[in-house]
Each structure stands twice: as structure tokens, then as C-alpha cells.
A and B are shown apart, each in its own frame.
Chain A
Amino acid sequence: MEYFLELLLGGLTRGSIYALIALGYTMVYGIIELINFAHGEIYMIGAFTGLIVAGLLTMLGFPGASILAIALVCAIVWAAAYGYTIEKIAYKPLRGAPRLSPLISAIGMSIFLQNYVMLSQTSDFLPFPELIPEFEFLKANNSIMSSSELVIVIVTILSCVGLSLFIKFTKLGKAMRATAQNRTMAMLVGINVDMVISATFIIGSSLAAVGGVLIASHVGQINYYIGFIAGIKAFTAAVLGGIGSIPGAMLGALVLGLTEAFATGYVSSDYEDVFAFCLLVLILIFRPAGIMGKEKTQKV
């Protein structure tokens, strides 16, 4: 039973990690129907920014908790700037183009950013400091859940709930939903679509940056390539849950994380990916739009 619980919590953590990244994918897709392959790289850049800032602050002798806070803020600002710029450079000029063009532009951006970080930083693995402090009440149960795992799960749930509320109740959220439904119509009623899309990229990138810092602190190492693998898994999670839907991304990520954890725990980690992707295929056979995705009638 304890083993089951450990696997459950491990899977939950892994799912939350995927979810933090998947939220950005799903938001962008919901608005402009583009799979932003560079999103994983934004996550990686967020983690690198966190590392650099944390290193600097540690040298200057800041206390532990403030390092985490400042590193997070810097990572968010920096990553958001990247997200905004990428949209302006790589996607906006292609807004009227066939759907494949921005997709290829996204893949190009992803490759460019990976190599840029590799050349400007390093191709080696770097140690990432443990920024999340250990909580006293968890020390006894360290084997079940560590403080970093707890923080990741809580932050993910808060982000997901916060984002849902934001989209439901704020003016910008309403504008986002309108843009997602029909961009031309939204423009006609006076919504600044360019601004809405930029805001979407900024929010998505900020979430990725938070994820980058927290996850790197949990895992303890980063290099220029971490965004790619995490991005692929997060993308899978977003598709699983129904791309475009925010609760769907969360649910899809949790389902994926738990499947992987239980597949490893009860079968073999050799087949971890096999189970994860079999699940994806099965769900897409029975619900082609994903678990929470809405069947869209083809526009004529």
C-alpha cells in the first residue's frame, strides 16, 4: 500500500511538471491554433535565467527564500520577453499564411534557441542549486514526498485554477476567448487581437519560466536540451487532455504522469513510454479531440 502511495505521489509530481509546461502549449493553441514548438525552449531559458540569477544572488549573500523569489521573478520577466519577441518575429508575419508555415517557423525557432543557449552558455550539464527550502513537517516523510515535489504540485494546481478564473472573469480573458472563437469577428467588435495574442504568449511563457525554475531546482541539473524532451511530453499531455482546453491540459498531464509512474512501478521502466503513448493512441481513437476537447464542427 505504501508502495502504491509512493508511486501515486511520484506520478502526481511528474504530471504536475508536465502540466506546468502543457498549460502554455494549450493556451497558444487555443488562441491561434499553432503548436508552439519553441515553448519547451522558453522553459529551458527560464531555468537558465533562474540559475544565473540564483548564482549571482548567492554570491552576494542573499538569504535562501529571497533567492528563490527573485530568481523566479527574473526568470518570468526574461522568459516573457522571449515569448513576446518570438511571437513578433516568427509567428506574426505568418499569421495569414497556410498553417504549416508557422509550424515550421516554430520548429526553426526551437532549434535556433537550443543552439543559441548551447553556444552562449555551455553544452555541458550544469548543477542547479536546491532553491526550494526543506519543510520541517515533511522531513519525517521524505521518502514519500519531498518539499520540492509538494511545491511543484501546489504551484501547478494554483496556476491552473488561477488561469481558468482569469480567462473566465477578466476582460482580457474574455477577449482571449473571443479571439479563440473567431478572430475576424473579435476584431470587428473592437478587440485588439495583436495585443491579446501577445498577452497569451507572455502568460504562457511566464508559466513555463516558473516551471523551469521549480523543476530544475527539483531535478538538480540543467542543460540546453532539457526543453526538448520536457516539451515533447508536455505536448503529448496537452493533446491527451484536449489541446486548447486548460483543465484538459492539467488532466492530460496528470493522466500521463500517473500512467508512466505506474507502468514503471508495476511493469518495467523499459516500457514507460510504450504505455504512455499506447494510452495516447487509445484516447485519441475514442475521443479524437482529447479527454476534455470539444468536437469542433468544420467551418465551411
Chain B
Amino acid sequence: MRIKLSLIVLCLAMVAMLAACGGEADKAEKKAEAPEPAGTIVLGVAGAHSGDLASYGLPTVNAAKLVVAKFNAAGGINGRQIEVVAQDDQCKPELATNAATKMVSDNVKIVLGHICSGATKAALPIYLDSEIVVISPSATNPPLTQSGDYVNFFRTIAPDDAQAALEVAFAKGLGLKNIAVIHDKGDYGKGFASFCKLFVENEAGMEVALFEGVTPGAVDYSAVVQKIKSSGADGVIFGGYHPEASKIVSSMRKKDIDIPFMSDDGVKDETFIKVAGKYAEGVYATGPMDFSGNPLFQEALAAHKKEFGTDPGPFFPEAYSAAIALLTAVQNAGSTDYAKVIEALHNNYVDTAVGKIKFDAKGDAEGVGFAIYQVQDGKYVEIK
């Protein structure tokens, strides 16, 4: 008898819970069905806003707020005010799809995000199906644009392989034919070196003389330097960081190997010059373009300090620029119409914090990315 009673109570409790859930769902539906406040354009911001990688995602939210405030202060877009709606994905692909679905159900038409490449990749098919334009300030995975799968995807940061492409093009310009590609076996260095190797192999008249990884922190690299010499290479590309680069380049110069030494962002560091000293002279390194002198960037920086009282975090300039590019495109298109916004992004140049940009056929920003620097008289000087 008692058991029966408790069963009944349990059933009742379950029914009550179901009813409660139904109520929630109803409410949510009502919220979604409720018409958008007339005239507002919603800018969705998706990315890591909590969790381990929140520090990468939150600056983008701040950037969006600042840009939106700027546009609203100037009367909005065609008289319509803009509103920011943020969705958290914690840089996790499974949460990114949730965030994307919410954007779709909230009837958002333009999205700034996501932050991590993996999350972006997971969310993009949902946006594509629902005809939502997406622009990321930080997803650098090359296939996101280069695969051509996502006509709705744009980014204001250079893809991972842009640095390698620039490096190889520059090596070609120097007239190098036979290149030794060395890396430090790390994710960053080896990734960069592998792209370099690929691009050199694809280039007619250029060959990879040597492709090797060295152990970071080893006491000396004389064996690998001898190998570079005997391979007959006329140039060295190194992927990795400055401690190994300075050891290799010093060792090369001491052994009278005077071929050009080119490296990456990990070497474009003042410590490299300090440590390698006179051997650093003439070394080339790619590094992000310097946009610190850009007035829009300085304005963004000042606005951030005024509004939030701190210096902005990572990807802030890219996010600020992405928001400007996206809202300007909407302005040029006259509405948030999918095809028109995409067309506007491809066709019109826009002044942003990272420079004057427009987007190429695949969705990568033209005029954003890396420059070549050379050590001259103990300083990195931008060349070309």
C-alpha cells in the first residue's frame, strides 16, 4: 500500500515537472515569436565568454559594444539602432553549434565570431543554411576560407599559412632556388615550416634542399649547420622561436656560411637581436603588420580605456575592425539582406583599425597580415 502511494506521488511529481518544462518551452517560444523591436539590427557576438579561453573571447564583445555605440551615436544604420547579443561557446565545438542555433532562432542576421577555429568550423554549416553572414577576428585555420565551402564566412586576421606564403614569395624574390627548411619540432614552428615546404615545392624552379627538425635546447647545432652547408642550400627558412634561431644563425656565421636566414614571428623579437648580437644582422623575419600608428586603432584603444578602464585583450583590433567592416557592409547594402551584405564585403574598401581592407573571393581580408622585417643595425626594419 505504501509502495503504491509513493509510486503515485512519484508519478504526480513527474507530471508536474513535465508541465513545468512545457511552461518553460512555451515561454521560450513566445519570446522567439515576439517581433523584433521595430527597426533594430541585431549584431550577434559568439565566442568564448567563459571558461579557460574567455580572455580570447571577451575583448571581441567589448570591441562590438564600442563599435555599436559609435554607430548608434552617429544615428545607427539608415536610422535603425544596433543591438549586441552575445552567445558563449567556450571555444568548444559542441557549444558553438548551440550558440549558432540560438542565433538562428533569435533571427540574428550578422554574427561577429567565433573565436577559435574549431568552434567556428562547427558552427559555420548552421549559419550557412540559415543565410547568416559570419566574420571572425581570430579563427586562423586556413581551410575555413580556402576550402570555398563557406561563402558566408569572412575574417580580419590572416590565416595560419599566410606567413609561410609571404616568406616563400620573398625568398623567391631574393632569387633563392634551393632552400633548407629547419624547424624546432613544435606545433608552431613545424606547422610554419611544413607550409613553407609545401609552397616551395609548388613553386617552379625552387626546391627544398633539406627539411629537418632540431631539438630545442640542445647544447649546439653544429651538426645540422654542417648538413645545411653540405646540402648546397642557398637560403635557410627556420620555423620556431628565437633561442634556437640565434644558436643556429650564430653557428652558421661562425662557420662562414653567409646565406640568407629567414624566420617567422617567433624570431621577430628584440631578444633575438640582443642574444644573437652581431650575428643577427641581415636576418629576415616575418611579423604582423604594424598598425599601431593607425588613427582608428588609437581611437579604439582610447575608447576602450575610457569605457572599460583597461587595455584591450587579444584580437581586439581585429574584432573592432571586423565589427566596423560588417556594419559598414550592412550600411552599404541598405539592409541585412544576405546576398547584398556579402557583395558589399567583397566589393567595398573600408577603413578599419588594422588598415584599409576589403575581402577577397574566399573571404580573407586583403591588406591584413604580415610584413617582412630585416635586422639592420640592431633593429628590425620593415622592408618592401
Residues of A bordering B, CB below 8 Å:
3, 6-7, 10-11, 13-14, 17-18, 124-127, 142-143, 146, 149, 215, 218-221, 223, 225-226, 229-230, 233, 260-262, 264-265, 268-270, 272-273
Contacts and interface: CB of A to CB of B under 8 A. Distances in A.
A284 B175 CA distance: 51
19 contacts: A3-B230, A6-B226, A14-B222, A125-B275, A127-B276, A218-B220, A220-B246, A220-B276, A221-B246, A223-B243, A226-B217, A229-B218, A230-B219, A264-B212, A264-B223, A268-B213, A269-B223, A269-B224, A272-B214
Interface string B179-204: 00000010000000000000000000
B220 A3 contact: no
B219 A233 contact: yes
B231 to A, nearest CB: 10
Nearest to A271: B213
B247 A219 contact: yes
B172 interface: no
Contacts, number: 94
Say whether chain B's binding surface is mostly helix, strand, loop, or mixed: helix
Given A13-B222, A127-B277, A270 B247 contact: no
Nearest to B212: A269
Contacts of B276: 127, 220
Given A127-B274, A220-B247, A220-B276, A265 B226 contact: yes
B306 interface: no
Contacts of A6: 226, 229-230
Given A18-B219, A127-B277, 16 more contacts: A13-B222, A14-B222, A125-B242, A125-B243, A125-B246, A126-B275, A143-B256, A220-B246, A221-B243, A229-B217, A233-B219, A261-B223, A264-B227, A269-B214, A269-B215, A273-B215
B271 interface: yes
Contacts of B275: 125-127, 220-221
B305 interface: no
Interface residues of B, number: 31
B271 A10 contact: no
B256 to A, nearest CB: 5
A292 B247 CA distance: 34
B254 interface: yes
Which of A17, A229, A262 lies at the interface centre, i.e. has the most chain B CB atoms within 10 A of its CB?
A229
Say whether chain A's binding surface is mostly helix, strand, loop, or mixed: helix
Interface string B214-255: 110111101110110110000000000011001100100011
- List of 7 A-B pairs having minimum Cβ-Cβ separation, nearest first: A264-B223, A10-B222, A229-B217, A261-B223, A270-B213, A6-B226, A143-B255
Nearest to B225: A10
Nearest to B217: A229
B14 to A, nearest CB: 57
Contacts of B243: 125, 221, 223
Nearest to B242: A125
A124 B213 contact: no
A91 B83 CA distance: 67
Contact of A3 (B212, B215, B226, B277): B226
Contacts of A124: 271
Contacts of A264: 212, 223-224, 227
A142 B250 CA distance: 13
A3 B215 CA distance: 21
Contacts of B220: 10, 13-14, 17, 218-219
A230 B223 CA distance: 17
Contacts of B242: 125
Contacts of A272: 214-215, 218, 223
Nearest to A234: B219
Nearest to A6: B226
Nearest to B213: A270
A10 B254 contact: no
Contact of A270 (B212, B218, B257, B274): B212
Contacts of A18: 219
A198 B146 CA distance: 66
A126 B223 CA distance: 24
A125 B216 CA distance: 13
Nearest to B247: A219
Contacts of A127: 274-277
A10 B279 CA distance: 20
A269 B227 contact: yes
Nearest to A2: B230
Nearest to A139: B256
B219 A265 contact: no
Nearest to B190: A270
A29 to B, nearest CB: 21
Which of B218, B222, B243, B250 lies at the interface centre, i.e. has the most chain A CB atoms within 10 A of its CB?
B222
Contacts of B218: 229, 272
Given A6-B226, A124-B271, A219 B219 contact: yes
Which of B220, B224, B256 lies at the interface centre, i.e. has the most chain A CB atoms within 10 A of its CB?
B220
B253 to A, nearest CB: 10
